[in-house]
């Protein structure tokens, strides 16, 4: 369940998605959640079959890490947090295996500080997501980035609850 | 990208009979000069002019923080000219200065506005003018009178005839937000919308001649820098590269625009020659470099960079060369701009958990915190250097506020209605003087 721990985004609902997500990724149940297991497509298929295979577009599978489209960041940081890396990696792999698919990565910041600096910070977050996806084989021309800085908050509010939701990158397919 | 698109955009004129912004002085100044502005007399027939000139002059002067004006209800007399003034009436009230005036008909639909300024203790006339006006420019005439009084009494130029630009977000009927770029008189009256967009508008910046605004507007999910003529609405797209096109800043001669572009990988400061379209890169670092601002002598640019790990203010000669870090206090200093005399910077500084407006004295390196909010941003000097306007957030709403350059007088400017007001920027002094309406 090592893989699953990477997906503990926050709420129980997300966690349940993550547990199921392990099946699709191939690590579920095997207990060997290392890199090799993730890329082991054979075991993924059997595990997924046992749980009921998803036959539609992988992006639409609610049990896949691909269902998670928002990556959160720490204050004034653009480094992808450990608990979010696996989601970004899954998207990178998906893009690598689907070279005709393109995605827009929107970078966002919380409302504190100056607006243009936050535009720059949002761009750096979007670029961090892009870089990690490219290490998985996604190509540059599949990924479009844009930063809205603090202009498009997810949550209205002036406390850490709201701010932590607003410091994010969003993947829009 | 050298191609310049010339676009004509629709102007949304929102003439409003009343102020869109109400101004409230939240903290007064010690040592403000006591002054009385007597309601001006009307010497014609009929109802007379639509504006209360004395009230506008009085409001301007008290907002500067330099004057404490006498309420009309406390006045013992209502003189309109030197012949009617009894200095004793004003001495007893502790007034140091007195303004009286009268308005006469002038032609078919014009006025002649006369005023006189007195030193109450010496019992002498300091200055007096007769100014022709029309119904449409009565407010402008009042601001001009306030400027003349201010300059006579303080020795500094008044900034009451200037304007402010700001970005206002208004919830629309469809549940979405309309974002508008607006220009209003410095006292908040006559707000006019010069751009209306469903997407964010950022970083308005006045050209030094006060005729154009540069700003960032998102077009089809992409930030673009435009330069727009304020009066005609004609605009040009000046930067639409891949990535960030942001933070436009005019050179003092109005010929160049410093800006932030990330087209080469990460945000760097560039200088665009507006006539030749030549683009020159000024900074080169993998960190964030943004928010450029020119020194008044045009020689240096200050900007925000996190090359030291946290955002701080740096200075670089416009010709390129050695970089110098200017801020060392705290872990967040951003969006600096110069005072008109070039001796200090205003900036956003983090103090504990609050983001406040600070003034950095360039000589001593001393940083003085001027504002008291938790989320203050976008400071902009009045062209006479006396006041700083900025954006603040109170009770979940973004409003404008102003503080005197010495930090002693604070004001809150509240918008009527439900809009969020941000990114204020004070215009330069008008070069070609008043427009005719």
**Whether residue A114 is found in the same domain as residue A172:** yes
Cα dihedral A84, A87, A91, A97 sign: positive
**Whether residue A47 is found in the same domain as residue A95:** no
pLDDT surpasses 90 at B133: yes
**Whether residue A171 is found in the same domain as residue A100:** yes
Nearest Cα neighbor of B27 from B386, B371, B375, B408 is B408
pLDDT surpasses 90 at B369: yes
Cα dihedral B58, B62, B64, B68 sign: positive
**Which chain B residues contact residue A124 at CB under 8 A?**
266, 288
Between CA B163 and CA B128 the distance in angstroms is 25
DSSP string, B372-422: --SB-EEEEE-TTSSEEEEEEEETTEEEEEEEETTS--EEEEEESSS-EEE
Between CA A96 and CA A138 the distance in angstroms is 4
Q: At what angle do helices A41-51 and A12-25 cross, to 10 degrees?
A: 130
Inspect the interface and report whether the beta carbons of A120 and B290 lie closer than 8 Å. Answer: yes
Please tell me the predicted confidence (pLDDT) of residue A8. Answer: 39
**Whether residue A3 is found in the same domain as residue A35:** yes
Inspect the interface and report whether the beta carbons of A116 and B247 lie closer than 8 Å. Answer: yes
Rounded to the nearest integer, the mean pLDDT of chain B is 89
**Whether residue A88 is found in the same domain as residue A166:** yes
Between CA A109 and CA A115 the distance in angstroms is 9
Inspect the interface and report whether the beta carbons of A113 and B260 lie closer than 8 Å. Answer: no
pLDDT digits (tens, 9 = 90+) for A73-99: 999 899 999 999 999 999 999 999 999
Instruction: Locate the chain B residue with the closest alpha carbon to A105.
Output: B221
**Whether residue A15 is found in the same domain as residue A100:** no
**Whether residue A55 is found in the same domain as residue A78:** no
Between CA A28 and CA A33 the distance in angstroms is 8
How far is C-alpha B174 from the chain's CA centre?
32
**Which chain A residues contact residue B200 at CB under 8 A?**
148-149, 151-152
Q: What percent of chain B has pLDDT over 90?
A: 75
Q: What's the average model confidence in pLDDT over A101-113?
A: 95
> In a 3-state reduction of DSSP, which class is residue B282?
coil
Q: What percent of chain A has pLDDT over 90?
A: 58
Q: Which of A104, A111, A112, A120 should we substitute to test contact with B (largest number of B Cβ atoms within 10 Å)?
A: A120
Nearest to A151 among B200, B377, B393 (CB): B200
In chain B, residues 235-274 whose CB comes closer than 8 Å to chain A: 243-244, 246-247, 260, 262, 266-267
Nearest to A116 among B260, B306, B332 (CB): B260
pLDDT surpasses 70 at A3: no
> Residue B309 to residues A77, A147, B244, B294: CA-CA distances in angstroms?
10, 21, 21, 24
**Whether residue A58 is found in the same domain as residue A75:** no
Q: What's the average model confidence in pLDDT over B157-162?
A: 94
Give the CATH number of the domain where residue A146 resides: 3.30.1330.60
pLDDT digits (tens, 9 = 90+) for B295-342: 999 999 999 999 999 999 999 999 988 999 999 999 999 999 999 999
* Architecture of the domain defined by B6-16+162-426: 6 Propeller (2.120)
pLDDT surpasses 70 at B16: no
Please tell me the predicted confidence (pLDDT) of residue B431. Answer: 62
Inspect the interface and report whether the beta carbons of A158 and B396 lie closer than 8 Å. Answer: yes
Between CA A63 and CA A19 the distance in angstroms is 8
pLDDT surpasses 50 at A19: no
Q: At what angle do helices A82-97 and A115-135 cross, to 10 degrees?
A: 60
pLDDT surpasses 60 at A102: yes
**Whether residue A87 is found in the same domain as residue A55:** no
Interface of A with B (CB under 8 A): 76, 104, 111-117, 119-121, 123-124, 127, 145-149, 151-152, 156-158
Please tell me the predicted confidence (pLDDT) of residue A14. Answer: 39
The residue segments making up the domain with residue A20 are 1-63
**Which chain A residues contact residue B288 at CB under 8 A?**
117, 120-121, 124
**Which chain A residues contact residue B244 at CB under 8 A?**
119-120, 123, 147
Nearest to A117 among B266, B311, B396 (CB): B311
> Residue B348 to residues A102, A137, B195, B325: CA-CA distances in angstroms?
38, 41, 26, 16
CB B248 within 8 A of CB B235: no
**Whether residue A44 is found in the same domain as residue A99:** no
**Whether residue A161 is found in the same domain as residue A77:** yes
In chain B, residues 187-246 whose CB comes closer than 8 Å to chain A: 200, 202-203, 218, 221-223, 243-244, 246
CB A145 within 8 A of CB A125: no
Please tell me the predicted confidence (pLDDT) of residue B23. Answer: 60
Inspect the interface and report whether the beta carbons of B221 and A146 lie closer than 8 Å. Answer: yes
Between CA A88 and CA A11 the distance in angstroms is 18
**Residue B228 Cα, gap to closest chain A Cα (Å):** 20
CATH dotted code for B31-154: 3.40.50.10070
Give the pairing of strands B256-261 and B33-37: unpaired
Please tell me the predicted confidence (pLDDT) of residue A45. Answer: 43
**Which chain A residues contact residue B203 at CB under 8 A?**
115-116
Contacts of B239 (CB under 8 A, 6+ apart): B1, B224, B225, B245, B248, B259, B261, B272
**Residue A117 Cα, gap to closest chain B Cα (Å):** 6
In chain A, how many domains are there? 2
DSSP string, A29-86: TTS--SHHHHH-HHHHHHHHHHH----S-GGG-TTSGGG--EEE--TT--SPPHHHHH
Q: What's the average model confidence in pLDDT over B164-180?
A: 87
Q: Where are the domains of chain B?
A: 6-16+162-426, 31-154
**Whether residue A74 is found in the same domain as residue A159:** yes
């Amino acid at each position: 369940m090592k893989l699953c721990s990477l997906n503990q985004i926050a709420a129980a609902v997300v966690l349940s998605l993550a547990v199921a997500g392990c099946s699709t990724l191939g690590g579920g149940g095997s207990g060997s959640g290392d890199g090799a297991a993730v890329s082991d497509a054979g075991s993924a298929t059997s595990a997924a079959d046992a749980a009921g295979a998803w036959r539609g577009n992988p992006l639409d599978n609610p049990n896949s890490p691909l269902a998670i489209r928002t990556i959160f960041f720490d204050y004034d940081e653009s480094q992808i947090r450990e608990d979010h890396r696996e989601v970004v990696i899954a998207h990178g792999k998906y893009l690598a295996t689907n070279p005709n698919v393109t995605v827009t990565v929107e970078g966002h910041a919380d409302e504190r500080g100056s607006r243009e600096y936050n535009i720059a910070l949002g761009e750096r977050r979007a670029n961090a997501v892009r870089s990690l996806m490219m290490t998985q084989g996604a190509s540059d021309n599949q990924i479009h980035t844009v930063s809205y800085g603090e202009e498009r908050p997810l949550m209205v509010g002036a406390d850490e609850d709201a701010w932590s939701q607003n410091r994010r990158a969003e993947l829009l397919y | 990208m050298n191609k310049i698109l010339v676009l004509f955009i629709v102007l949304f004129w929102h003439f409003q009979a009343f102020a869109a912004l109400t101004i409230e002085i939240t903290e007064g100044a010690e040592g403000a000069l006591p002054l009385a502005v007597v309601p001006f007399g009307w010497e014609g027939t009929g109802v007379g002019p639509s504006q209360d000139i004395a009230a506008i002059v009085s409001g301007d002067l008290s907002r500067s923080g330099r004057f404490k004006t006498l309420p009309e209800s406390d006045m013992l007399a209502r003189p309109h000219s030197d012949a009617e003034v009894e200095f004793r009436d004003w001495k007893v009230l502790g007034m140091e200065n007195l303004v009286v005036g009268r308005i006469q008909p002038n032609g078919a639909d014009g006025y002649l506005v006369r005023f006189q300024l007195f030193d109450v203790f010496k019992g002498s006339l300091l200055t007096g003018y007769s100014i022709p006006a029309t119904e449409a420019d009565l407010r402008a005439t009042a601001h001009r009178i306030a400027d003349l009084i201010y300059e006579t009494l303080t020795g500094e130029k008044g900034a009451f005839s200037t304007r402010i630009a700001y970005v206002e977000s208004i919830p629309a009927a469809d549940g979405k937000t309309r974002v508008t770029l607006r220009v209003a008189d410095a006292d908040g009256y006559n707000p006019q919308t010069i751009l209306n967009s469903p997407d964010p508008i950022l970083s308005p910046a006045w050209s030094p001649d006060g005729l154009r605004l540069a700003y960032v507007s998102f077009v089809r999910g992409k930030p673009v820098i435009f330069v727009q003529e304020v009066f005609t609405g004609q605009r040009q797209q000046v930067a639409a590269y891949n990535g960030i096109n942001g933070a436009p800043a005019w050179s003092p001669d109005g010929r160049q625009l410093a800006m932030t572009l990330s087209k080469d990988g990460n945000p760097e400061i560039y200088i665009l020659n507006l006539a030749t379209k030549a683009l020159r890169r000024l900074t080169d670092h993998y960190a964030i470099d943004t928010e450029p601002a020119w020194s008044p002598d045009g020689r240096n640019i200050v900007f925000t960079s996190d090359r030291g790990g946290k955002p701080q203010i740096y200075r670089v000669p416009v010709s390129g060369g050695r970089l110098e870090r200017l801020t060392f206090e705290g872990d967040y200093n951003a969006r600096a701009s110069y005072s008109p005399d070039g001796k200090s910077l205003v900036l956003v500084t983090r103090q504990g958990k609050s983001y406040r407006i600070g003034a950095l004295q360039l000589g001593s390196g001393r940083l003085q915190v001027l504002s008291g909010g938790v989320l203050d941003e976008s400071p902009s000097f009045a062209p006479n250097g006396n006041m700083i306007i900025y954006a603040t957030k109170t009770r979940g709403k973004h409003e404008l506020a102003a503080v005197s350059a010495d930090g002693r007088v604070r004001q809150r400017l509240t918008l009527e209605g439900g809009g969020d007001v941000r990114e204020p920027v004070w215009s330069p002094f008008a070069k070609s003087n008043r427009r005719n309406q």
